[in-house]
Amino acid sequence: MQSIDRSMKVIQLFMEKGTNQFFSISELAKECELPVSSMHRLLQAMIKHRMIQQDTDRKLYGLGSIWLEYGLKAYDTMDYISMIRPELESLMKAVEASVYLNKPVGNESIITERIDCIHQTIRVHDQLGLRSPLYKGAANLVILAYMSPLQSEKVLDSELINEDKTKIINGLEKIRRKGYEVTDEQTSGITTVAAPILNRFKEVEGSISIRVVSFHLDEEKLDHIIKNVLQTARVISGKMGYPNGHDRNFVF
């Protein structure tokens, strides 16, 4: 029972401080009022069960991937999904295109929800549970742009060479200024528009995006899509507790 109590105290600390945060073993020991040696044994046991992950380069600890997997298994009963589904459905109807919800997991993101548009003449579908690297695609880049500098730097350092990293960093700065991203996939002829979802801790929870056939887009339709994606992201962020998220004139 003592180990369970201690484990839950560690998890609760991450919930209070921010689920995307990483801490040193000394910080965790101090917050949980445990000797460093005891905290070390506890963390090793939690890592074994993927409750905690370790950044071996920085010697820091964060929440493990098992929590997202448990969350996806309880998908239909999650307050998070049920709370924002009406906004995703409204966006789908407004832009007449399928809508996606992505969640960051380590150096990747995973599609956790998809609202299909039956009126979309050419279906552009990615499967639920599909993973992709955070440095590729609009839905992932907006997540990366709104991560903390330490988190985004860690992702880029582990995935890219310096030349590519510099190009991505410059792109992330532009995303933060706009509050959204648009990418065109030349080979597939698909345009993606995405915006971030932020929570009450001003952390990025994920992103919403739509994918449409580029051939069907003109400037007026693209502006219409961007406006609706941004507005939906603001409303959802407001529901997640992000300050001013409900303000229609608010810019991320």
Please write the tens of the pLDDT for every residue from 109-155: 999 899 988 776 656 667 888 889 999 999 999 999 999 988 888 88
**Domain extents in the chain:** 2-64, 74-239
133 burial type by CB count under 10 A (0-12 exposed, 13-18 middle, 19+ buried): middle
Straight-line distance from the first to the last Cα atom of the chain, in angstroms, rounded to the nearest whole number: 44
Q: Are 103 and 205 in contact (CB under 8 A)?
A: yes
Amino acid identity at 221: K
The pTM assigned to this predicted structure is: 0.69
Q: How far is CA 11 from CA 31, 83, 216, 224, 235, in A?
A: 12, 24, 47, 42, 28
Residue 91 has pLDDT above 60, yes or no: yes
Structural domain 74-239, CATH architecture: 2-Layer Sandwich (3.30)
How many Cα atoms are found within 13 Å in the side-chain-facing hemisphere of 66?
A: 11
pLDDT of residue 215: 84
The CATH code for residues 2-64 is: 1.10.10.10
Greater confidence (166 vs 121) lies with 166
Residues 7-41 pLDDT 10s: 889 988 888 877 778 999 999 999 999 999 999 99
Amino acid identity at 107: N
Q: Are 55 and 62 in contact (CB under 8 A)?
A: yes
